[in-house]
Structure 1
Amino acid sequence: MKALRWLVTGLLLTAASLAVAVAPMEQQARAFLLREAARLGDHIEVTMQSPTAPLPQCGDATPFLPGHQRPLLGPVTVGVRCDGQVRYLQARVSARGRYWAAAQNLDAGTILEKDDLRAREGDLSTLPRRTVTDLDQLVGKELTRPLNAGMVLQDSVLRVRPLVRRRQPVKVEAMGTGFRIERAAHALEDGALGERIRVRLPDRRVLTVVVSGPNRTRVTF
């Protein structure tokens, strides 16, 4: 009986020491995620998942985000460097904030204005991962496909407004040391500033050019 008591006492002391060892690393990881997610919205919450194996003691844990986890919402992985080793912890980040949805049915090719959008409030971690929540990044963009009223705006359906339109006349400029040549052509595809597109010259030759302005392109050498 006495041996059993010693065994139970030993197990309790071991569990207590593990809790002390685990807590600082998890606490630092949680604090790190709270700081990283602070600008995503209001009422940020970080829930740490219990590790599958005991974490080592670490007096100077350094959390970091492996890879490119952006936006930092929903299930995330946080790495912790400790005495030359790295452990990975799982967590969930949630935040309440404002996002935007289509105010009415919108056609492909629509150049978004503020009146086309309606603000909503909710848990941002439940939205599709590529949802755009910044109004400034929505207004002026062009839709690449139709949207039904109420659908959230994702960056996969947005593009910068083209400065050159397919089948429209454009100017093609070529410059070099001591010369400048400009010719007329027709665009074979849409293009935004800095994008490479194909144009057809009057002699039917096709060139690849860079969009430099409204209905203007340049040849790069």
Structure 2
Amino acid sequence: MLRHRRPHRLLWHAARLLALILLLAGPTYAAEAPKEEALLAQVQDVLVERAARPGDEVAIEVYPPRAALPACPRPDIFLPRAAERPVGRVSVGVRCGDDSRVRYLQAEIHVTGHYVELARDVRTGETLHPEDLAEVAGRLDRLPRQAVLDPDQAIGQQATRHLAAGVTLQRYHLRPRPLVRRGQQVVIEARGAGFRVTRSGEALSPGGRGERIRVRLANREILEARITGEGRLAVDF
């Protein structure tokens, strides 16, 4: 009989120990869970603000961390790649108050919106016009990171290679249309508070709108200027 009663007493003691552990852990967990949920909700709000565009549909899932996060009443939430629109799988940094340590959370961002495809075949060096482009609706998080989302980013640009109709347009497919040729005589304009000066010079390299090139003036002085139009440049102060 004793051999049968011993296992029963061991189970009884184990059950009491487990109940005691749950009793002690319960209030702590109950206090921490809402705080963690509030932090995850704040992270989600930041991602919605960064990822959403007018007309897009955004679905975001923030994955809870494996280890419990500390109380963080005023979290500093940031994206390591701040310059990029977050789509797909992303990491989110969280810094709490004066604590210099950064904790990273993972999130999945699904965005349905519009992007740009080619409506016809395009040859290398050909300038793109509105009728060459088509806006297509689809999952943006499944596109290459350099996909062009706005037709205005492509209109007036030149193709860097032969592209077939139906290709998803990417930024590396495009280059600015040259507005200045090497050796061309150009007009350089300098503006400031209360003055405007124009001078002529020789372009030392070709370039498109917004690009900066070197220009040789009549007195052989060389300066750098920004291309603003056909044969026209500006010096920024």
Tell me the TM-score range normalised by the shorter chain: 0.7 to 0.9
Contact 2:117 2:169 survives alignment (8 Å): yes
1:102 aligns with 2:118: yes
The amino acid of 1:46's aligned partner reads I
Bigger Rg, structure 1 or 2: 2
**Distance in 2 between residues matched to 1:70 and 1:139, nearest whole Å:** 22
SS in 2 for 1:163: strand
Query: Cα distance, 1:95 vs. partner?
Result: 0.7
**Equivalent residue in structure 2 for 1:195, among 211, 215, 219:** 211
1:126 aligns with 2:142: yes
User: Where does the alignment leave 5 or more consecutive residues of structure 2 unmatched?
Assistant: 1-10, 191-196
The amino acid of 1:56's aligned partner reads P
**Equivalent residue in structure 2 for 1:54, among 62, 68, 72:** 68
Cα 1:78/1:118, change in 2 over 3 Å: same
**Distance in 2 between residues matched to 1:217 and 1:15, nearest whole Å:** 65
Query: Cα distance, 1:84 vs. partner?
Result: 2.5
The amino acid of 1:68's aligned partner reads A
Q: How large is the RMSD of aligned CA atoms in angstroms? A: 3.5
1:22 aligns with 2:47: no
What is the number of equivalent residue pairs in this alignment? 214
- Percent of aligned positions with the same letter in both sequences? 39
Instruction: Give the alignment's TM-score, normalised by structure 2.
Output: 0.72
**Distance in 1 between residues matched to 2:75 and 2:224, nearest whole Å:** 51
Aligned to 1:75: 89
Contact 1:26 1:48 survives alignment (8 Å): yes
Instruction: Give the alignment's TM-score, normalised by structure 1.
Output: 0.76
Higher helix share: 2
Contact 2:185 2:200 survives alignment (8 Å): no
SS in 2 for 1:125: helix
The one-character-per-residue Cα deviations of 1:188-210 (angstroms, maximum 9, x if unpaired) are 64312453446899xxx9x7764
Cα 1:7/1:31, change in 2 over 3 Å: farther
User: Where does the alignment leave 5 or more consecutive residues of structure 1 unmatched?
Assistant: none
Cα 1:181/1:78, change in 2 over 3 Å: closer
**Equivalent residue in structure 2 for 1:164, among 168, 180, 195:** 180
